[in-house]
Structures are given as C-alpha cells and as structure tokens.
Amino acid sequence: MDAMRMSRTSFLLALAAMATACRGPVELVSDRPIAAVTPEQGASAPSSRPAQSSSTALSPSYRGAAATPTGVVVPVLGRNAAGGWMVGTPCGRTGSVGNVRPLPGTVVLDAGHGGKETGAIGPLGNRESDLNRAVVAHARAALEAAGVDAVLTRTGDYRIGIAPRAAIVAAVKPKAVVSVHHNASSSRLLDEPGTEVFHQGVGASAAESRRLAGLLHEEVTATLARYEVRDWAATPWAGVKPRPNSEGDDFYGILRRTQGTPTALLEVGFLSHKPEEQLYARAAVQQAVGQAVARAVVRFLNTSDPGSGFIATPRLADDNRSGGGTENCQDPPLG
C-alpha cells in the first residue's frame, strides 16, 4: 500500500512539474489577435493506444465511441446494410461511414461551442471556441502522457449540439467529464482570477461532480495566479457552485444530460476583459491551463482530495439563453 501511495505521489509531482516552465510575467502589449493553438498541434497527435481502424476489427455489436476517417468523434449506433457503420452525427442526425476507430476513454474532454457558434469573442477578436479547443488539446496531451485515455467531443471547428455531446459521453462511459469554456460579461474587478466552475446539483453523481469542480478551480486558479495581471474580471459569484434551472434541475445541458457521470463546466476566465484575452491567446498559457485541467483530473481519479473554492448556491435567473441546439446545423464530413 505504501508503494502505491509513493507511486501516485510521484505521478502527481511529475504532472505538477509540467507547468513550472510557464511561470513568469505576461507581456500585455499586443493590440492584435493571436491565433490559438489548434488541435492539429495537440489534440490530433498520434495516440499510444493500439491502432484498430477497420470495420472488420470491431465486433458487429460494438456500441461505443469512435473516430470517423476524418477524425470526427461519434457514437456508434450499429452496422449498416453495406457492412459499414451507422453513427450519430454532431448535428444529432444519423450518418453512415465505412470504417471507424474505437475510442475507449477514462475521461471525456468537451471543448465548448464550435463552428458558427463561436461563444464569446474578445475585444481583439479571439474566439472562445478556438481557445476552448486549444486548452482541451493540451489537457488531452497531458492526460495521455500520464497514461489516462481522453476522448474529445469536438476535434475541429464545427458545431456540435449538447445532445450529441452527451451521446458521446454515454457511449464512452467515462469516470469524469470536463467541459471547457471562457467567460464574458463580467461586472467587477478582483486581484485574483475570477474563474467559475459549475457542477451537477442533481443526480447520483452530484457529490463527485462537486469534488471534480473544486479540484479544477484549485488547479486552474493556482496556475493563472502565477501570471502578472493587475486586475482580473469576475462576477459576484466567482468560485464553485451548481446552477439550478426554474424546475430545480441543472441549468446547463452538458451537466443535466450527463447526470450519473461526474461532470464539471469550467469557465477559465473572462475573454471579454482585454488583459485576460491577451493572456489566454498565448500558446504557453493555453498549455499551462490545459495541464492544470489534467492535474485536476488525475487528482480526482487517484485521490480523495475535496478541492476548494466552493460558494453558496447563488440565485441566478433562468435566462433561457439559446445555444447548444442543432437548428440549421451543418455536419462536418465524416469520411
């Protein structure tokens, strides 16, 4: 038992060391957008798992998650008459592909927004959907370097609805899900990061979802605090909390539709605040935040650490914002 504890401690220390190179001041001098790191630089890197890409390599009864020949992650629904596979598409339709590669995973990483649904856009023009994807790419790379398989819900700049994201989670059956976002519309300034993390407040996984959210907040805020930003944007509800809708269920669809699996929605910081936008647009910062997400996930899987940053459940309006649906959605090529 002592040997196992030593191994886990060494494992976590190794991950913690990955972020040390990113410490230091941030030069907030650029007045132009800086391109985010794309998954081609991280998320689509070759995996160490065995290759298994043809239809004949899978049992006809396979019903897990898979990658299509173009790299789009989909839930597999069954075989088709032509000997290929019926799959669920990012727009919530049914599609058909000849070959798929199975994607087993311990964790699902969800890059919020995508395609025409860009999410927030900063004063310098950086898009939330790009930054979300960059952070997720680095989180996946760090997790897989640590031996934890991670499946992405979105591998490119395309739109994917909340229900199709949840369908991928259901197909993978992971131990944890992290949905990555960047925030907008702050109302005050703080001397510390205004990171928000939402957890499930309903269902069998609510307690573990809360713990996952607390670990994410702990790791991400500790990483951001290493950078020299004089004022951080925030709302009065910075921290870790659930958000109920008017019926008492979880407000955010990715939390509501994945109840039973610990899931947390991370708002790294405020893209709408120019000094933070300049920070988040830096490739080194995207990597540092992604590694912080990975460290939180490893701690969630391997320890009983409770996390921190919890606040009382705020009374927020059920604003019924649109988003995450599939109206006028155009699927990316599958194969």
Q: What is the CATH number of the domain that holds 136?
A: 3.40.630.40
CA dihedral in degrees (130, 133, 139, 143; nearest 10)? Answer: -160
pLDDT one-digit tens code per residue, 102-151? 999 999 999 999 999 999 999 999 999 999 999 999 999 999 999 999 99
Does 310 lie in the same domain as 273?
A: yes
Does 206 lie in the same domain as 84?
A: no
Give the residue with greater pLDDT, 334 vs 48: 334
Whole-number percent of the chain with pLDDT over 70 = 81
pLDDT one-digit tens code per residue, 4-45? 444 444 445 454 444 333 333 333 323 333 333 333 333 333
pLDDT, position 278: 97
**DSSP β-bridge partners for residue 214:** none
pLDDT, position 205: 98
In-domain check, residue 172: yes
In-domain check, residue 136: yes
pLDDT, position 20: 36
In-domain check, residue 275: yes
- pTM: predicted TM-score of the whole model, two decimal places: 0.85
- The domain tally of the chain equals 2
**What is d(CA 114, CA 64) in angstroms, rounded to the nearest whole number?**
23
Cβ atoms of 183 and 271 within 8 Å: the answer is yes
In-domain check, residue 335: no
Length of the chain: 335
Does 147 lie in the same domain as 73?
A: no
In-domain check, residue 214: yes
In-domain check, residue 327: no
Cα angle value 83/84/90 (rounded, 5°): 160
Residue 246 has pLDDT above 70, yes or no: yes
Does 229 lie in the same domain as 188?
A: yes
20: which DSSP letter?
G
Does 207 lie in the same domain as 68?
A: no
Q: Which amino acid is at 109?
A: L
Question: Could you tell me the residue range of the domain that residue 87 belongs to?
Answer: 51-103
Does 172 lie in the same domain as 62?
A: no
Residue 320 has pLDDT above 70, yes or no: no
In-domain check, residue 180: yes
pLDDT, position 318: 59
